[in-house]
Amino acid sequence: MKRILKALALMIFPLLSYEVPAPQKVVASATQTMLHTDGSQIKDANGNAITFRGTNFGGWLMQEGWMGPVGYGELDHQQYTKITPSSTYGDLSASNAIDTKVVDGHTVNDLSTYWQSGVAQTADGSELLIELDEARYVEKIVVETGPNHVGDYLRGGTVWLSQDWTNWFSPSSLKIDDSRSSEGIVVLDMGPQLAKYFAIRPSQSSEDGQWWTVANISLCMGDEYHVRTTLFRRFGEDATNQLFATYQNAWIQASDIAKIASMNMNFVRVPVYWMDFMHPDGTFRTDSNNGFAKLDWAIQQCAQYGIYVLIDFHGAPGGDNCWASCGEASPVPTKLYAGDTATVAWNQNVVLNIWSALATRYKDNPTVGAYGLLNEPVLNFDTNAAYEDLKYGFYDRIYQTVRAIDTNHIVIFEEFMDWSVATNRPERATWTNYMFEKHPYDMDHPKDWSSQKQLANNTVSTMSQIQTQWNVPLLVGEFCLYYFSDVWDDFLSDLNRNGISWTNWAYKVRGTIYDSGGGNWGYYNTFDGEEPDLLHDSYSRIQSLWGACQTSHFQENAALVRLVSARADGSTNHPYVALDRSGWKLSASNTASLPYIYPLSFLKDGIASTRWSSGVAQAAGQWLMVDFGQNENFDKIEMLGYQEDYPGSYEVSSSFDGVNFSTIELNNVGIGFGTKMVLLPSTPQTARYVKITLKGPHETNNWWSICELNILWRNVNA
Ligand SMILES: [Ca+2]
Ligand SMILES: [Ca+2]
């Protein structure tokens, strides 16, 4: 169905005129003139050099479930080509478990029809096998009985997956959520898995011999495409777009842009999704909530503060890459680049037509700082000349499309995933007024100071070299260095020093400061609301939950805000020198006793393998104190710990007399985060005594150990 629609649309595409809202008036900005590149610099029309320093509006016009309370959409049941049961009771066929019906013109899962196994549930004793039209990503499987047989809910759950019928695997990440079993609903959460065949079985026996009844199985993904299309089917497109507007109008508001200005930033990168601008059939949306209207609003708001806007084409039909973050998780090479010719052409034409409209609309707008032509384009993970040709061939078509309309604006190419490929492409010879962008991440080592520091250092050294060698401005368009505030500070300082632009990912996230998806991923975190159930919740409930995602429902990550604000003005930090430790007097509330030999002197003996250790499980009130013997200036505290014996939660205080202590405000999040921890006071300190005090137990009751403690002061003579 989808393919037919696309082929049809492809045929009529050249005949379509752009029915897009009239271009906005150019906003008069007191400070902004059209930017252009000049060698390795960005300059305004008056010749002033500009470096972009800002943040990403991730989760706004392009949602991501880990960032905001989005919820999960499901695959279209038309993509289920076959369902095979291990047994069937009477004529209650397994096709009843994947059927839909039309109610008031909308397609919904039919919970009134159901399949029954006819046998008591036992571990692996029954199976429903679903086959899809092709291998697709699925991260949750929702199995439900329908209203009249809730006692026959799935007991436990096992999933076997295959892409080719030959090789099968059961995802070790599987978590079973049966918290709604009283409604007959069990959710099998696997994380994103690519498969064509899905075998689902009970993993336990029913207590009283209950059969297995299934009225519906939904294969779910939390990406933008499946969220939107699920709601299109349930509520229709107009009503769905209104829901998205409710979300978007809450997620970023005028006060957020004022906040970004107050953080000394001059730049926001705004990820957009193709369905912000178009209907599913590839014609332009003209409703008042379309993406052009949202961009117009953001650009007007930003113009008031002299903030430049990067329009980042983050989500193309078919997928820019394999990840859900581009809106549509799919195997590489995705249908944006390769496969069925008509589908690829349709997908690429959507991107080109949206860029034509964007360029037409904003070609004279100086608040638009740059066009990011395509986010994170990835066709495969090895060097492959054919795929590079496909990628850069398409990149060049986008470039030529924009340039045919707009010669004013800087355009940005992303180097994914190899600088040598990006800089050596022949297309580059014809490009003008452009930049390159990189997204350095090390997501495999979020608690490893050395890994994050190495990533930051390598990024700066490589990019400063590329910038000089190729004489082109560069942007670090996304990054996160987790809890390592000192690495953030060094990284931003080094980028500023080298005139490299930067935007962290992202402005706000739903997770807590402790979550892997919270922490320093945002200037705001810890959302206090709920995520809707997009399969079952009413329209008004989804509207209510999505409408409550304004920033006032999050907590400010004050430590990160302070740290980044201090560098967003372009300033740089100093090199540091460690204070002389020879005269230090050390004391602690607890030190391991014999037979353990972990004395305090070991934390300043210069030997990384020897350590002081508390000898007891961490608890609130335990402390370690340094007496310098005299007043000292300092603004950095480095603790090299031992394995997981880092302080779980802590505060630092200082004193002139060893009696009266005052707490030092830190640009750190206040929780332990790895073997090496570096604490940054928010302002330079002077004191004779420094005391580190635990505020609670360690998450796994570890002792507290430090191999080396250093306290440092900026080298003002450097
Ligand atoms: Ca059904
Ligand atoms: Ca030591």
Average pLDDT over residues 630-650: 96
227 is a domain residue: no
* Ligand closest to CA 143: 1
pLDDT > 50? residue 17: no
CA of 534 to the centre of ligand 2 (A): 54
Distance 543 CA to ligand 1 centre (A): 26
The reply to whether 64 falls in a domain is: yes
Residues 73 and 67 sit within 8 Å (Cβ to Cβ):
no
- Is 667 found in the same domain as 625? yes
> For position 416, what pLDDT does the model report?
87
Residue 246 φ/ψ, nearest 5 degrees? -60, -45
- Kindly state the tokens that stand for 552: 């006032």
Q: How far is the CA of 713 from the centre of ligand 2 (A)?
A: 21
CA-closest candidate to residue 214, choices 135, 117, 288 = 117
- DSSP designation for 24: P
Nearest ligand to the CA of 710 is 2
Residue 417: its pLDDT value, please?
83
pLDDT above 70 coverage of the chain, percent: 96
Distance between first and last Cα of the chain = 67
What percent of the chain shows pLDDT beyond 90? 91
Q: Looking at residue 716, what is its pLDDT?
A: 74
Specify if 474 maps to a domain. yes
Residue 149 CA to residue 118 CA, distance in Å, equals 13
pLDDT for res 11: 40
pLDDT digits (tens, 9 = 90+) for 452-508: 999 999 999 999 999 999 999 999 999 999 999 999 999 999 999 999 999 999 999
Query: How many of the other CB atoms lie within 10 Å of CB of 142?
Result: 22
Ligand minimally distant from the alpha carbon of residue 92: 1
- The last residue of a domain, from among 158, 187, 221: 221
Question: Per-residue confidence at 1, pLDDT binned at 50, 70, 90?
Answer: very low
pLDDT of residue 30: 67
454 C-alpha to ligand 2 centroid (Å): 23
Q: Looking at residue 21, what is its pLDDT?
A: 59
Question: Average pLDDT of the chain?
Answer: 95
pLDDT digits (tens, 9 = 90+) for 245-296: 999 999 999 999 999 999 999 999 999 999 999 999 999 999 999 999 999 9
Instruction: Specify if 80 maps to a domain.
Output: yes
**Are residues 557 and 546 part of one domain?**
yes
**Which of 157, 190, 221 marks a domain boundary?**
221
Distance of CA 483 to the CA centre of its chain: 16
What's the DSSP call for residue 580?
A: P
| CA 679 – ligand 2 centroid, Å | 19
- What pLDDT is stored for residue 8 in this prediction? 39
**Alpha carbon distances (Å) from 189 to 72, 124, 171, 205, 328:** 11, 18, 10, 20, 18
What's the CA-to-centroid distance between 77 and ligand 1, angstroms? 11
Sign of the CA dihedral with 233 first, then 77, 142, and 216 last:
positive
User: Same domain for 328 and 473?
Assistant: yes
Determine the Cα–Cα distance for residues 463 and 476; give it in Å rounded to an integer. 9
- Number of CB atoms found within 10 A of residue 151's CB: 15
R_g (Cα) of the chain, nearest Å: 28
State in Å: Cα 138 to ligand 2 middle: 49
* Pairwise CA distance, residues 352 & 36, whole Å: 22
Q: Which ligand is nearest to the CA of 108?
A: 1
How are beta strands 185-201 and 115-116 bridged, if at all? unpaired
Helices 2-12 and 341-362: crossing angle, nearest 10°? 50
Tracing tokens 């779910």 back to the chain, one arrives at: 220
- What is the domain-level CATH number for residue 428? 3.20.20.80
Q: In the beta sheet, which residues pair with residue 269?
A: 56, 310
Q: What is the pLDDT of residue 670?
A: 84
Å from CA of 111 to ligand 1 middle: 5
What would the two tokens of residue 594 be?
A: 């014999």
CB-based contacts of 661, cutoff 8 Å, min separation 6: 653, 654, 655, 689, 691
Torsion angle defined by CA atoms of residues 703, 704, 708 and 712, in that order, rounded to the nearest 10 degrees: 170
Residue 31 pLDDT level (bands cut at 50, 70, 90): confident
- Give the pLDDT band (50/70/90) at residue 23: low
Indicate the pLDDT class of residue 24, thresholds 50, 70 and 90.
low
Q: What is the dihedral of CA 16, 19, 24, 25, to 10 degrees?
A: 70
CA distance 133 to 715: 64
Please tell me whether residues 471 and 487 are part of one structural domain: yes
φ, ψ for residue 131, nearest 5 deg: -115, 135
The verdict on 425 and 294 lying in the same domain is yes
Distance in angstroms (rounded) separating the CA atoms of residues 45 and 486: 36
Q: What is the mean pLDDT of the segment spanning 620-646?
A: 97
Residue 383 confidence (pLDDT)? 79
Confidence at residue 10, expressed as pLDDT on a 0 to 100 scale:
39
Quick check: helix, strand or coil at residue 339? Answer: coil
Q: Which ligand does the CA of 599 lie closest to?
A: 2
The rounded Å distance from CA 158 to ligand 2 centre is 49
> Quick one: 563 and 618 in the same domain?
no
* Residues 322, 315: Cα–Cα separation, whole Å: 11
Q: Which of 548, 64, 611 shows the shortest CA–CA distance to 329?
A: 64
pTM: 0.94
Query: Residue 165, exposed/middle/buried by CB under 10 A (0-12, 13-18, 19+)?
Result: exposed
In this structure, the answer to whether residues 513 and 555 fall within a common structural domain is: yes
Cα-to-centroid distance, 138 and ligand 1 (Å): 20
Q: How far apart are CA 201 and CA 124, in angstroms?
A: 5
Closest ligand by atom to 641 CA: 2
Ligand 1 center from residue 229 Cα (angstroms): 20
Strand partners, 689: 627, 655
- 8 Å CB contact between 107 and 78: no
Residue 560 domain flag: yes
Of 94, 138, 83, nearest to 116 (Cα)? 94
Ligand whose nearest atom lies closest to the CA of 586: 2
List the strands of the sheet with 36-38, edge to edge: 36-38, 41-43, 49-50
> Are residues 599 and 475 part of one domain?
no
For 234, the 3-state DSSP assignment is helix
Handedness of CA 173, 176, 179, 185 (dihedral sign): positive
Ligand in nearest proximity to the CA of 111: 1
> Distance between CA atoms of 288 and 599, rounded to whole angstroms?
69
What's the 599 CA to ligand 2 centre distance in angstroms?
10
* CATH at 151: 2.60.120.260
Indicate whether 116 and 21 sit together in one domain: no
How far does the centroid of ligand 1 lie from the alpha carbon of residue 186, in Å?
A: 15
Based on the fold, state whether residues 608 and 690 are members of the same structural domain: yes
Is the residue at 226 inside a domain? no
Asked if residue 366 belongs to a domain, the reply is: yes
- Which DSSP state fits 381? S
Compute the distance from residue 588 Cα to the ligand 2 centre, in Å.
Answer: 16
pLDDT band at 517 (very low <50, low <70, confident <90, very high): confident
Distance 536 CA to ligand 1 centre (A): 14
DSSP-derived 3-state class of residue 347:
helix
Q: Which ligand is nearest to the CA of 601?
A: 2
Q: Is the pLDDT of residue 561 over 50?
A: yes
> What is the 97 CA–ligand 1 centroid distance (Å)?
4
Task: Compute, in angstroms, the gap from residue 103 CA to the centroid of ligand 1.
Answer: 14
Predicted confidence at residue 718, as pLDDT, reads 64
Give the C-alpha distances (Å, rounded to integers) separating 37 from 60, 255, 372: 28, 31, 14
Q: What is the pLDDT of residues 181-227, one digit of tens each?
A: 999 999 999 999 999 999 999 999 999 999 999 999 999 999 999 99
145 and 46 within one domain: no
Residue 539 has pLDDT above 60, yes or no: yes
Mean pLDDT within 520-527: 97
The answer for residues whose C-beta is within 8 angstroms of residue 628's C-beta and 6 or more apart is 579, 583, 584, 687, 688, 689, 690
pLDDT in tens, 397-441: 999 999 999 999 999 999 988 898 888 999 999 999 999 999 999
Pair (61, 89) in one structural domain: no
**Ligand closest in space to the Cα of 144:** 1
Angle between helices 558-567 and 485-497 (to 10 degrees): 20
Of the three residues 550, 567, 584, the one that is the final residue of a domain is 567
**Distance from residue 163's CA to the centre of ligand 1 (Å):** 25
SS3 (DSSP) at 653: strand
Structural domain count, the chain:
3
Spacing, Cα 601 to ligand 2 middle (Å): 8
**Which domain does 158 fall in, by range?**
73-221
Residue pLDDT, tens place only, 316-346: 999 999 999 999 999 999 999 999 999 999 9
Residue 78 maps to a domain: yes
Mean pLDDT of 630-658: 97
Judge contact between 705 and 612, C-beta under 8 A: yes
- Taking the C-alpha atoms of residue 90 and residue 324, their distance in angstroms, rounded to an integer, is 41
Pair of tokens at residue 79: 């993509």
The encoded tokens of residue 526 equal 């810890």
